[in-house]
Chains A and B, each alone.
Chain A
Amino acid sequence: MLENRQFKIFISIVFIQLISSKQVFAYLDPGTGSYIFQVLIAALIGGLVTIKMFWRKIINFIKNFFSTKH
């Protein structure tokens, strides 16, 4: 249930990012598909990195908790 909620939040963030956007001009053609894909994949990877860091903190907390108990 919680996972489903998190997924909905993630999709909403990506959607908000997609609609709250502006025009850009570059001499290089960034490619529409590449642009959209970049945002999606960056959000996903960025999210995974955050989760990984958060997870590490939990593991460290548990490790520290037990080592201090000893």
Chain B
Amino acid sequence: MDTLIKRISSSFRDPCGFLFVEDGNLFRSVNILYQKNYDHLIQSGLYNKLVEDKLLISHKEVHLSGIDHDSIYKIIQPDLVPFISYPYEWCFSQLKDAALTLIKIQKQALEYNMILKDASAYNIQFYQGKPLLIDTLSFEIYKNNHPWVAYRQFCQHFLAPLSLMASSDIRLGQLTKIYIDGLPLNLVSKLLPISTWFNFSLLSHVHLHAKAQKRYGKKTSSFAVPNISKQSLFALINHLESTITSLNWLPAGTEWVEYYEDTNYSQEATNHKKQLVETYLSQCKASTVWDLGANTGVFSRIAMQKDADIIAFDADPAAVEINYRHVRENKESKILPLCLDLTNPTPAIGWANKERLSLAERGPADTLLALALIHHLAISNNVPFGHISAFLSEICHFLVIEFVPKNDSQVQRLLSTREDIFYHYTQEHFEAAFQNNFSILKRDKICTSQRTMYLMEKRNEL
């Protein structure tokens, strides 16, 4: 029977249950092994409390005919998260908020005599603008005086990257892409500045923790678990919370974050561009929009007014940080800002390269916004128009794209320090290349500017 169920490729580690797809809907099996814990989660009121506080994904229990397995206790259907994102795509504050959400859940769970049995960052997703635990089976009944099984995982998945991003360099957050089960603490300890040894929180949870792992890591004999009182456990959780809260990073001075103040656009041209984006989006009636090179999300917010779900991608962690803070402050539930370098988009990683999906595997979007982007791809990164067109056609149905000609001051700036080898960088070549994959539906010159906006629709493959 198990072979008939289409399991989600990332759902195989936890023996308590697994995710599967049936008729295009997502379900989670709750295995017999987890029965006692599941019943406690529901009957104790913890589930209702967490769902009410928007900390845990809501689900309904369902009966699926044809799925009747000895090892399955119940089948639940969780609410669907429209877009699954990964820690290496989050900005600093997204990872920090995810960590604090998990701590909040842990404290709540302990009040109901349960505890988190894992603390994976992948179990947190951004849903309607806020972090949310999506793994309903993450809880187990608290056993008196037992330590927290997931302490190591919490430190490696959250505290380690956050401390590196805050104290060393924001770009070190990308290490989470290499170390799928969290950053090795001995590596983090090496990379953190010496000053962090004088910070009691980082000294204990990172540096000394790493030393303890090294000292006791090679013990192979059966291991007896030491006792820890509930009071001490609460103190530990509170300390982790204050440690995470104290970590901060302020976005400033990166390449793109001042971009909007530094363009050759007149106010009139900006307004016209906004108006064109709005008209095009109305025409394609998109429910999902991916804004590539969204910066701080000025144009994403036009799509938001059209009631679309928007993913605002940008390569600059500072721009994503500013965008996310804006989302959080204004409680914008439709925009998800994410870090993405389009010249090297998120790959598929993990076991068999199927555990965490690539960008393209999580698409296609109804509509792509590619505004003031083409010159960065074609000139800064030497990607031919044909390659850009082919890739964009894989991840969308409609494309709103802006062509920036060579005489534009932004392009001239890119060419100022290098030889102009881009003989094919013309509007004619651009249109010809894109027409291999798209039909041009609309073409409008942006007033008082050299730039042109296009609305294109992907050609149906024969």
Contacts and interface: CB of A to CB of B under 8 A. Distances in A.
Given A27-B15, A35-B226, 5 more contacts: A17-B228, A27-B117, A33-B216, A38-B148, A42-B236
Contact of A24 (B16, B219, B225, B229): B225
A45 B236 contact: yes
B213 A30 contact: no
Nearest to A30: B149
B228 A38 contact: yes
A35 B147 contact: yes
A1 B408 CA distance: 78
**By DSSP majority rule, is chain A's interface helix, strand, loop, or mixed?**
helix
Contacts of B232: 39, 42-43, 45-46
B459 to A, nearest CB: 48
A49 B239 CA distance: 10
Interface of B: 13-16, 117-118, 143, 146-153, 155, 204-205, 208-209, 212-217, 219, 222-229, 231-233, 235-236, 238-239
A4 interface: no
Interface of A: 17-18, 20-24, 26-46, 48-49
A17 B149 contact: no
B236 A36 contact: no
Q: Pick the 8 closest A-B CB pairs, nearest first.
A: A34-B152, A37-B212, A33-B213, A46-B232, A33-B216, A42-B236, A46-B235, A42-B232
9 contacts: A24-B143, A24-B146, A27-B117, A34-B152, A38-B148, A38-B228, A39-B228, A41-B209, A46-B231
Q: Which of B147, B208, B239 has the most CB of A within 10 A?
A: B147
Contacts of A18: 226-227
Nearest to A18: B226
Contacts of B151: 30, 34-35, 38
Contacts of B153: 28
Contacts of B13: 27
A26 B216 contact: no
Contact of A31 (B14, B204, B213): B213
A39 B205 CA distance: 12
B151 to A, nearest CB: 5
Given A17-B226, A36-B226, A31 B231 contact: no
Contacts of A26: 117, 149
A27 B212 CA distance: 21
Contacts of B15: 27
Contacts of A33: 209, 212-217
A37 to B, nearest CB: 4
B277 to A, nearest CB: 46
B228 A37 contact: no
Contacts of B231: 46
B235 A28 contact: no
Contacts of A44: 204
A34 B226 contact: no
Contact of A27 (B14, B215, B228): B14
A41 B226 contact: no
Contacts of A46: 229, 231-232, 235-236
A36 B212 contact: yes
Contacts of A41: 204-205, 208-209, 236, 239
A9 to B, nearest CB: 15
B150 A36 contact: no
